[in-house]
Amino acid sequence: MEYTHTLEPAREAPPAASLIVERLSAWYGARQALRGVSLEIAPGQVTAVIGPSGCGKSTLIRCLNRLHEVAPGTRVEGRVLLNGEDVYAPGVDPVLVRRRVGMVFQRPNPFPTMSIFDNVAAGLRLNGLASGYELERIVIHSLHQAALWEEVEHKLRQPGTALSGGQQQRLCIARALAVQPDVLLLDEPTGALDPVATLKIEELLRQLKERYTIAIVTHNMQQAARVSDYTAFLLAGEDRVGELVEYGPTGELFTNPRDPRTEAYITGRFG
């Protein structure tokens, strides 16, 4: 099967979505993981979330697309406003939230039994969003957006798992983009990748932010400094509950942090 359609955007690019977090707290059973986090994730920008292990970084972004509540016994308080609408309002379908707020994880996780094409098409087919020509068009466009098209255009029927780690991760990004989300969340997306594959993903994020609001959790402060426009620093206090310590433009936070705890963390004095 050959795909030769000209590349067109699947839709007119709308303004990037706004995502506002208000007094967000999260629990795993009786244990509180996050307390009172408020921040406005800048539309059309990359926001990095940094902090030591156990500070609630992953929990925070999992709350943004209601993935936190998938684990048993979990609970969330506060509001997450996506383009002004609270994703936790009664009657909101979490599946729809997750479609609008896509997530990419640390380990590339293509569907093992599916081809490259079918991996990207999966979400569209599952949700009945597209079929036939339209489906092909969106898959190709998503692969282009994920900077993977040139590497896979002649092997779309091969299994996704046959790709290299970096390519698999970009395949997962293509899969997330295919359902046309407003926001892209990435949880340590380069944690399992080599430096070259890492730089490709980082370059990709810089391109994607023109159309998407992006939040990335990273352990790697240099990566946060390289890739993000804004950085949020979370830290768990003595009670092991994560709180937002500082949030601001990345350049400022990494050269002149306001809070001494941020200074101590990014200069390696603890963590």
Q: Where do contacts with another protein occur on this chain (CB under 8 A)?
A: 221-222, 225, 254-257, 262-263, 266-271
Q: Which residues of 187-201 are buried (b: 16+ CB within 10 A; e: fewer)?
A: bbbbbbbeeebbbbb
The whole-angstrom separation of Cα 257 and Cα 84 is: 30
Given the DSSP bridges, would you call strands 74-82 and 85-86 parallel, antiparallel or unpaired? Answer: antiparallel
Nearest distance in Å: CB 106, another protein? 21
Q: How far is the CB of 199 from another protein (least distance, A)?
A: 15
Alpha carbons 165 and 89: distance in angstroms, whole number: 38
Alpha carbons 119 and 109: distance in angstroms, whole number: 10
Nearer to another protein, 216 or 266 (CB): 266
Residue 84 or 268: the one with the smaller Cβ distance to another protein is 268
Of 98 and 226, the one with the shorter C-beta distance to another protein is 226
CB of 263: closest distance to another protein in angstroms?
5
> Phi first, then psi: what are they for 178, rounded to 5°?
-60, -35
Per DSSP, the three-state class of 48 is strand
Residue closer to another protein (CB basis): 214 or 224: 224
In the complex, least distance from residue 253 CB atom to another protein, rounded to whole angstroms:
8
